[in-house]
Structures are given as structure tokens and as C-alpha cells.
Structure 1
Amino acid sequence: MAEQLLKRKLYGKRGCNIHSLACKQRSIAEKRLSKKNLTIFVRYFFIRNIYKDITAYMFVKMCQLDDFLRYNKVPTRIEGLDKLLYGGLVIPDNQSLLIVIRGADNTEKNVFSLQLIHEIASTFKAYDDKTNFYYYSDYLKKDYLEDLLLDILIASAIQKLVQLKAQGCEIIGSRFTNSFFDTNKVLSNKLSSSQVSAIPDDYFNEHADEMLCSEALYFNNRTNALHLRILGKDSNSSNEQNVIFPRKYGTLNEYLFGNKEEKEREKGKETNELSYVEKLFGQSYVNAYIEEKFDVSNIVSKIQHVQSNASDLICVNLVKREYLVQDSQEKIRKDVCYLIEELRKYKLSVLVIRDDMEIPEEQADMIIDLKTGGYENFDYLLNYLCIYKSRFQVTALNTHQYKRRDYGIEVYPSLHMYCQQRRYLQRALVYTHSNVISETYQQYLDKSTENEFPNYLDYLAEQPDVERSYFNALSPAAYKKLTLHRVLDIMFINPIKK
């Protein structure tokens, strides 16, 4: 009776096909994703002997941003860094998270901070469409930072496209290339017939995405354009002889909302040039407010007058050397304390400083040190990252190498991280005192395919057969139906005994 009531609640009085119900509910969910009451689907299984393969979809409310942060870590999507954080950042309930990035010159603090703040804001935007992030610098120019952010995002998107191709996905057309670059006209008129003899004139527009994956076309962040690989002594030469498509805009916000002329010409129309890329990778691009200010007090004043949303993020970059002057240190220290108070009003904030600048470390929740150092007796420098402080979560200790790529920072965890892993044995061996030939429930789930719907009852039913097969594999020639204690006695304790 209870089962019939549950079916009626899921399918309705008349009943319906499971697939059609799921499709109908998916369409309803997609319409509501842009609203505050975001929704998800939770797959519900009937665990009954006669209904093992019956599945249904229940339509439930999706957790808001606070609920997501309560039960999940926030991924930084920086290669290697999430491993050091054991999955991502922890932002506790009703508290803010202040991250301090500290480093000397030439440690790529700007790239690291831009990449970090945008990737976290992208996760926040999945739960609140109004998410923005603010980036204030006391020295670096606004145009430089906007161009740097856009270069990182374009190179990162191209890398993801290449990964899709490597996974076996078919890449056709040029919709990806059209999103970032103006493909209406080939810029270069100096391509000789020998350089493009294998590429027809109209081939660029029809197969630009595939050519990006094979690196026949490549993005150069100096010229802000796509170039064609050509024969020459220097294979990395990028100039007017091989330039193909220019970048459409100079800032991320222009890609998302269009420039002033387009806004006036296309009022009421969607102008997001990156909508296709967002759907392709399942990740949103976030509106960025980047400004340059003269000193800390101006930045504090600006933050106080900003009307921000609850999901907005902020980053402040302080790199001026004048903060180190002895006469002004006391004033700067007070201004920094005021700044930290304002940053605490945001759910997540990032403060970038020089390594020789003094701040109240006790007010920071996480401190990430970036530095350079030599390698033994060699004449070159390496970049090192260290999570110096972490208040709310466990992180990997010691230093780890990192490099700057076109798509941002890439961290390479050292062997120290593997030595510090909290669980290097199977969970079953530690918590359930299971024997070594048993298969844990997690291992059973990992063996299942996406089309299968395993449950715990099936796992219990198959467990004896799995143990026997593992035991047989240890010594198939001399396999006998003996107890484990008897086998250990014969093989290890007293090997002479028959």
C-alpha cells in the first residue's frame, strides 16, 4: 500500500512513463535554474526484491548558496591546488573567508589572484546569477588586468576544448572560435601559396575549432589573435604574416554584455558572446569590476560605497613599495586593518601583498606564500607555493612547485602531500577491521557503469562470491576450501607443515 502511494505521488493518479516524467521534470528544472529557487533532480531508487531495476526522479528544491557551502567544498579549479586543499576551500556557516596571497616580485601573484577569484565566483554564480567580483589594485593599470584576465580565460577554454577532443568527442564547425574571435575576415594578406597550399580558402571558417585542437591555429596573448602555423626557422614567430582572426573585445564584460554601440543597437537582446562556451563546459563567466586606485585609503572608501550582493567576491592587490617606508608604516598598518574589516563583509575575499609587508596575520583565515628559489647548484629559479596558514581546514604542508601557463597557474604537489594523507589504507580496513580480500562498498560502486543502478542489497549478496574469487586468485593451483587461519598457518606461520 505504501509503495502504491509513493508511485502515485511520483507518477500521478493516471501513471506515466518514467522516461517521459524525467524529461518533463528536466524541462521544468531548466526553466527555473535562472530563478532564486534553483532546483535539482535526485535519483530515487526502490530497493525491493521485485523492483530492483525500477528508478524514478523526484523533483526537489535545490539548495541555495549557503546550503551548498554548508555541505560542499568550493573548488578553485587551479590544477594541483585543489589536491593541496583536499578537494577545495571550506567556507563555514555565517562566517567569511579571507585569503592572503603573499609573495615577492616575479612570483605571478596577479595571475594567481585573478584566476582564483574568477573560478570561485564562477562556482558561486551557479547558485546566484547576480554574482560579480571586484578587483582593486593600487599600482597595476586597469587595462593590463582586464587583458590579463581575458588571456587566461581564453587560453583555459582552448585547453578544455583540446581535452574534449582527446576524450574522443567530435569537434566540428567554428562556434567556439566565433565566440572569442572575429572570423568574418582573415587579417593576413601575406600568406604565400606554399604556406597554405594544404588549406583551402574557406576552410578556416568551417573547421576553425578542429584546427585549434590540432594546433594548426594557436592563440597568441601578445597579439590577441589567432595565428596559423607556418614554415620558418622560428616556429613560434607570430606577426602580420600569419595572423588570422583577431580577438573580438578587450574586456570580459564586453563579451558578456557587448560594447556601448552594441548595447544601443540591440536593446533587449541577449549579447552574451560566450553563452555557447558556457554550455559546452558547464561553467559560467562572471562579470568583473576591475579598478585602479592610488592607495589603501582610497580602496577602503571605494569598498564602503559599493552596493554589493551577498554572493559577490572581492580581491585587493597591494604591491607598492612605498608601504615599506618607515615613516608611513604605522598609518599603512591602520589602513590595512580598516581594509580587512571591509573585506570581512564579503563571503570570500582575497588580499594580495608583498612578502615584506606586515599585516595582522591573526586576522587572515588562510595565507598562501609564493616564492622563488634555486635548485641545488643549478643556475635557474623555481617557483614554490606553501599554504602557510589554514584556519578552517586541513591542507597539505610543506612547499610545492608551480608554474605559470598560458591558462594560468599550475601546481605540482610534492611527495610530502602523499606522506601526509590522512587515509592511506582502505577505509574498510581502518574502520571495520575487514580482511584484505574483502571488497568495500565504495569499490563495488566504482566497478559499476553509468547504466547500472547498484544498491547495498546486491552488494551484500555478491560479497561471498567476490571474496572466494579473490582468495582463489591468491593461489589458484593450490586452492582449497580452508579457513583463512589455516591458510596463514600453512603459508606463513609454519610453511613446512603439511
Structure 2
Amino acid sequence: KFCTMKQYDNIQKISTGISGLDKILLGGLQLPMYSSSVSRNNKTQGIIITLKGCKGTDKTMLAMQVMHGITKSLRRYNGEDALLAPAFFSLDKTHDQLNDILLDFIISQCTRKMIKLKQDLRKDSQYNNSLFADIIFKTDQKVYTSQEQCDNTPLLPDDLCARIDKYISEGIVFYNIRTNSLHFRTAQSKDTQTNMLFERKYNLIHQYLCDVNRFSGDYTKIDDFRNDFFDVEFNSTEADDVHDNFIYTRTPAHRLTQIISKIQERQNKGKDEKETRIIPCTVIDGISQVRKQELEGFEISSIERLLRDTSLVSVIVIDDVEEDMFHSDISIEMRRVENDEVNYTTHQLRVNKSVFQMTAYGWHQYKKRDYGIEVYPSSHLLLHQKRYLPQSIINTKNGILDRNYLQYLDFSKDCDEKEQYVDYDKRRVTEEYNRLRYLYVSRFYKALSTPDDVLGYLLAQKNTAPDGKTIAIIGYPNTFKRFLAIGSSFCAARKGYHTLFLTFDRLSSNLLQQMQCPAFASMEKALPCVEGITDEQDEKIVNYTSVGTGQCSLSCPYNCSLKKCKRCYDYLHVFNVNMGCISADELLYYLEEQLEIYFDKRGSKIKRIIFDDLQKVDFCFPLLKSNDLFFAALKNFCQKKGVDLMILCDKKAGLVNELISLSENVICMCRDKDPRKVTFLIEKFAGNILPSQIYEITTNHIYDLFECDFSNCRLTVPDNIEEIGSMTDFWNDSWKDGCH
């Protein structure tokens, strides 16, 4: 069974296997649409992609990933038996080198996939055996030394060999591409061989093809690892060199001639068949090794026609040259960028030519990891969607009460696609009147006209689901900004919303010490388990027992209130970013991965993000500070995800003006001489409130602001509420002088 044009009549876009590159290509790689009734002799078939860049920009690795991703996508679409093996030819790398690169990439990708699937609680992704490790590694041949022989070797679990897949999915055991072996993590950061467990079983990918068929059962339900392993034709011309017994080394031009002959041979083998044999992807790497004068001697048009006739996708890797001799359909440039200001080097790529499809403009950052190239789409792609302005022109014909179809889709994502337009057309007239009626009813009866209502809405205490609102909490140092944010996270936890604390270079132990529920003191008998209280000072509690065991002390008179509090902490999560040259594009890339984690089988995700310590961006994250679109992209990102964003910032931070301008809701905080008295200034509120209202509210005891009865966490706002006309005093620091 061979792959033919007819089998791909309905393919539109396929994944390249690199999620960031797929986004730059606006959904994936566009294959030409063919009609099976058209004669093959009247038109060419496949497309040609050129990867162009200077040496050291990882072009070979990107080409390898694209070849693997395209082939894997086509195998999933059309079945593994319908495709021939892809081909990867290189003029400057050996057969063994290419095999090693591909195997390292595949195994690292599989182990990373196991870790990600372990986090997805919607699926039964429990790796409790050693099936994967037994197939890929020599688990019957222990490399590590015993505890008695090597003091530096940590004590390993007794069930390591029987449940090694479990430890891979938990990140305790990892694949090291330097040693081609499994290692276990240690406290030391050095890359040594003392922590090596098992070596890779084979060095050639075709040797795994029989063994990977054992992936079945539970592993198939999670993801088919077998689909990652398939045969690839590498530099087969090397075998011809050995048999010919040449006394001299073949030149790159000779090797290129052999590669062309090999591709032509594949084409000729299929001429006797009724249907043409097609290769999913062919890569020619290192073509710049051929001298320009010799390359001009080749008939480039014939090479292009041969590649189009034999492969659906062909990738040609060349070094940076003045003139691209190939007439490619897609051209991708790769470059190295030196940032002299911060003494840092980044790598970027762009699509500078595309014939069959639209692509995202501009340069996009990428990094090489153990599991391949990661591409971080530029913030411009997030902010500027295709056809946005033309679509806006179409929508201007509608009145302001009429919800256009795109807005309707945002509110009906879970509806059946076949009924979406029918429901829209049926409900649009009725909704216009209802929206108008609600606007005035809420104006007189349901307006959030008090700080109690406003704070309750912003801090998730009211029955409002996260909808993508942005909240800025700005104030002087030590004005309980974090206290307010933490209180809001516990309010949201009581309603079943997960909150992600996005922290910058913060010790986890330090953050945990501050993650105490502000409403804990209001609970009846809310004291931790204790063994006893001293006779001399009744208020001094000694001999704390371990609450983490989930068991109360025998002397606990309170039945351990912390047992109920434990439920709230299950909804709080931390994503810490260490200081350094982290770009906005890379941060958003990993933030999106965090938002795709499911915390239960019902599909609960993170719905709130608390951006902590924004002022650290001024001193520790130069690339974030220099990106003018960072806040705009972050806000737009959260709005599209329907995730509430709360940002904490000191009043003197360098990015405070951008924060105020882009946030729909702004709460300013000022601390009085009394250490417990704090003033809240609701400067900006985008909810349903009377125009131009600025509220001032002072709490005499900040620690009494939140109350909890184990069923709901609520605010206790005092009655000393005033409406002020200006925030000038606060921003000119005269407010602070008045407080003191």
C-alpha cells in the first residue's frame, strides 16, 4: 500500500511537531490541495522548504524535528503502513551521528511527554511499571554502584527496576543525551556518571522497530509511543563508498550526486506500480559544503522537480549565502543575535518567504533543549491576529447592542458547531432587548456602588466566575498588597477556582511562610494541633505535632481545623521564574503550558494568575523590561484564556505607568502610622459602577478583613467609606505625608 496523491486530497494543514513553529505557520504546514483527476504529468506535487542561516544556529536539529513531526503527523492521518520511510541525507555528518541525534531527540521527547501526561489528571496516566524503560534501555544491566561501594550514590528505592517509568514521569529519573543513559537526579548540579542507571539499548533507530510494537494496553490509551519510532533512511551512500574501495575521500559534490541518484532510484522503483510511491519528507543537509562553482554545474531545476515528484515535503539546509539558488515555497531564516547591553545571545528565526500559506511576520526566538528546538512566537503574533481589522469593518454595521458572531462564539465555545449559527440567528434579536434592559436595571438596582461590592467582585468573594479581568494592586512598600492577593486566592479556592502565583526569583520556603489564610483567625477554635500548653504562659504554644500526617494529636481539643483548610491549599499553585534574560515570548510560552494542566477529571484548570513582585522586573529581568509589548501581550493572553490577572506592584516601580494604563481595575493602598490600619483607594473599576467614582475605605484592623466559616470566605468592609474626587495626592506622595 503506497502513499498517493489521491490519499491526500483533503489534507489542509499538518503539524511540524514544533508547537511554536505551527503557530508561526498559523496552524501548521499547508500542503497543496490536489485533485486526483488531474494527471500527475501536468503538475508537480510536493513543496520545498529551505532552512537558511549561519553555522551554529541548529539548522540540522530543526530539519530533523520537522522531518520527524511531518512524518508522524502523516502516519497518524493515513496509517503507518501507507507511508514509505522519510530520508535524511547529509554531506557533512555521518550515518551514526544522524542516528544519535534522532534517537536523543525521540527519547527525550517521550520522557518529556510522560511528565506532561502525568500532570493531566483527566487521563489515567499512571506509569506504575517499567514497560517504556525496558524497551528503550538495558534495564537488566545495572550501571550504578551499590550504596556500600559509593558513598556519593543516594539510596535508591527498592522498586526502581520494576517501576522506573513512574520515576521518569515524576522527573526523578531523566535521560542524559551526553551519556545516552538514564540518570537519577541528585542535589549536585554537576553532570557526572556516578548517578547513571541504565544505558540506551541500541544506537540505530531501526533496531527499535520490533520492540516498540510492545507498546499497547494502558500506554496506548495515554499516547502511542510506537508512533514516535519509525524507520528513517540516512546516508546510505556511505555503504557504497566502502564497497567501491576508493583510495580517496569523496568530495561534497560527489556525495550530492550520489544523493540525487538515490532519490532518483526510489522514484524509478515505483514506475512499475499502478500508483506512485511517495516519501513523506526528504531532507538534504549541508549542501553548502559544495563549492559554489561546482553547485552551479548542477541543474537546480531538475533537482527541484525530482524532490517535488518524490516527496510531499522536502527540506534543504544551506548556510547563509548571498543568493538562494533554490526556488523554495517556504524559506526560513535562522540567526544569532548579540545583545551587547545585557551581554546575552539569543537565537531567532523568521519565515521570509511563503507561497502557499500566510505566516506570522517578524523574528521569533527559539532555544535548543535536550528534547529539541523550542520556538517562542513573538508577542506581535498574540496581539495582531490575521484579518482582525477587515473583520472590524464588517462588524461596524451592527449596532452596539448587537453581539457580532465572533463575540457570540466566545460565549458559546461548548456548543455544537452545527447548531452555533442557528442559535445565534435565533437569539440575536431577543438578546438585544435583554442586554438593553439589563443595562438600565443594573444601573438602578444592581450597580456595584459600594466598596464592599467592588472589592468582593475583584477579590473573587462574590459569585462571579473569572472572565479575564485585569486587576492592579499598587501601593507603598509594606502596605499589605500580598496579604490582599493571598486573601483573594483563598476566596477563589472556596469557590473551586485554581490560582497560579507567578513569582520572580522567590524561594519556595519563603513564599510558603506567607501563604497563611487571612481568614484563619476568624474560624471558631482555629488552632493547630498541640501536645500541650505551658503553665507559665498560656499563650505560648509548644510541641507542635505534624499536621501533614492528617491525624490529630490525642490532646487536640479542636478536631484539627487545619484538615478543612487543606482543601483550599489544593487550589493554590506556584510558578517561579529565576532572575535572568527571560524574554516575554518565552515566559508566555511556558505560562500557556501551565494553563493547559488539568487538576481533576472534570477538566478544572487555572483560572486566576497573581503576578507577584512586579518591581523585580526593573532589576532582574532586562528582556522583560525592554519589551514594550510585554504587558499588552500578557493582558491579551489572559483575556483570551478567560483567566483573571492580578498584578502586585510598588508605587515607585518603573513599569507602574504601563500597569495603570493597561489595567481595567486599579486598587491603591496606603498604610497609616498604626501598623494595623490600611487605606484602600479604588481608583479604577471597569465593572458596573456609577461614572467617575473613586472610593476610599480605611480598615482599622487589616487582619480582620477576611472571615471564613469553612463554607465561604468573605470580606468584612467597615462603614467608614468616603468618595473622593482625585488621586493627585496619592501619586504626589502628599497622601503619605497626610497619613503620618
TM beyond 0.5: yes
Shift of 1:125: 1.4
**Equivalent residue number for residue 319 of structure 2:** 354
Q: 1:226 pairs with 173, 182, 196, which one?
A: 182
Is the CA contact (8 Å cut-off) linking 1:134 and 1:313 kept in structure 2? yes
SS in 2 for 1:468: helix
- For 1:473 and 1:161, the matched residues in 2 are separated by 50
Supply the distance in 2 between the matched residues of 1:150 and 1:467 (Cα, whole angstroms).
62
* Structure 2 unmatched runs, 5+: 35-44, 238-251, 271-276, 447-689, 693-740
Residues of 1 paired with 2:329 and 2:375: CA distance? 21
TM-score normalised by L of structure 2:
0.49
Whichever of the two has the greater Rg, that structure is 2
Letter paired with 2:167 = M
Residue 238 of structure 2 corresponds to residue 272 of structure 1: no
- 1:358-416 deviation per Cα after TM superposition (whole angstroms, max 9, x unaligned): 4434x210100111121243433211101010001111111111111111111111233
437 and 472 in structure 1: CA distance in 2 versus 1, 3 angstrom threshold: farther
2:24 paired residue number: 84
Shift of 1:426: 11
- For the residues of structure 2 that align with 1:379 and 1:219, how far apart are their CA atoms? 31
Partners of 2:401 and 2:390 in 1: CA distance: 9
Structure 1 counterpart of 2:263: 303
Which amino acid is the alignment partner of residue 243 of structure 1? M
The whole-number CA distance in structure 2 between the counterparts of 1:146 and 1:470 is 66
Q: Which residue of 2 aligns with 1:106?
A: 56
AA aligned opposite 2:185 = R
- In the alignment, the residues of structure 2 paired with residue 467 and residue 248 of structure 1 have an alpha-carbon distance, to the nearest angstrom, of 69
Q: Kindly provide the amino acid, as one letter, of the partner of residue 330 in structure 1.
A: E
Q: Structure 2 vs 1, CA of residues 310 and 279 (structure 1 numbering), >3 Å: closer, same or farther? A: farther
Structure 1 unmatched runs, 5+ = 1-34, 38-62, 259-270, 481-489, 493-498
* Counterparts of 1:336 and 1:274, CA distance in 2: 44
Query: Aligned to 1:341, which of 297, 301, 305?
Result: 305
1:437-494 CA deviation, whole Å, 9 max, x = no partner? 637452344145x9x99665555666546973697379724269xxxxxxxxx999xx
Residue 149 of structure 1 deviates from its aligned partner by 0.6
Alpha-carbon distance, 1:247 to partner:
1.4
Q: Give the corresponding residue for 2:191.
A: 237
One-letter amino acid of the structure 2 residue matched with residue 347 of structure 1: L
SS in 2 for 1:205: coil
Q: What secondary structure sits across from 2:442 in the alignment? A: coil
Distance in 1, Cα, partners of 2:89 & 2:437: 63
* 1:433 to partner: Cα distance: 3.4
Q: Let me know the Cα RMSD of the aligned residues.
A: 3.5
Residue of structure 2 equivalent to 1:32: none
Q: Within 5 Å, give how 1:110-129 maps onto structure 2.
A: 110-126=60-76, 127-128=78-79, 129=81
Q: Which moved more, 1:147-156 or 1:459-468?
A: 459-468
Distance change in 2, residues 1:191/1:219 (3 Å)? farther
CA distance in 1, matches of 2:116, 2:401: 37
SS at match of 1:290: coil
How far apart in 2 are the matches of 1:311 and 1:328? 28
Shift of residue 349, structure 1, vs aligned partner: 0.9
Match of 1:5 in 2: none
Residues 152-176 of structure 1, C-alpha deviations (whole Å, 9 max, x = no match): 1111111111111222244232223
Q: What's 2:716 paired with?
A: none
CA distance in 2, matches of 1:466, 1:77: 44
After TM superposition, give the deviation of residue 115 of structure 1 in Å: 0.3
Cα contact 1:445–1:454 (8 A) shared by 2: no
Q: Which has the higher contact order (CA 8 A, sep 6+)?
A: 1
Aligned to 2:232: 288
Q: TM-score, normalised by structure 1?
A: 0.70
Quote the offset at 1:188 in angstroms.
Answer: 1.2
Partner amino acid, structure 2, of 1:312: P
Number of paired residues? Answer: 399
Residue 409 of structure 2 corresponds to residue 442 of structure 1: yes
Q: Aligned to 1:248, which of 178, 181, 201?
A: 201
Offset at 1:119?
Answer: 0.6
Deviation at 1:224, TM superposition (A): 0.8
Task: Write the letter of the residue equivalent to 1:116.
Answer: V
- SS for the counterpart of 1:272 is helix
Task: State the AA in 2 paired with 1:291.
Answer: N
CA distance in 1, matches of 2:186, 2:290: 47
Sequence identity, in percent? 27
Aligned position for 1:323: 291
1:313: how far off?
2.0
Letter matched to residue 181 of structure 2:
A
In 2 relative to 1, CA 245–447 (structure 1 residues): closer, same or farther, beyond 3 Å? same
CA contact (8 A) 1:336 1:359 kept: no
Query: CA separation in 1, counterparts of 2:169 and 2:66?
Result: 26
- Rounded to whole Å, the distance in 1 between the matches of 2:137 and 2:99 is 17
The equivalent residue for 1:40 is none
Partners in 1 of 2:433 and 2:336 — Cα distance?
Answer: 52
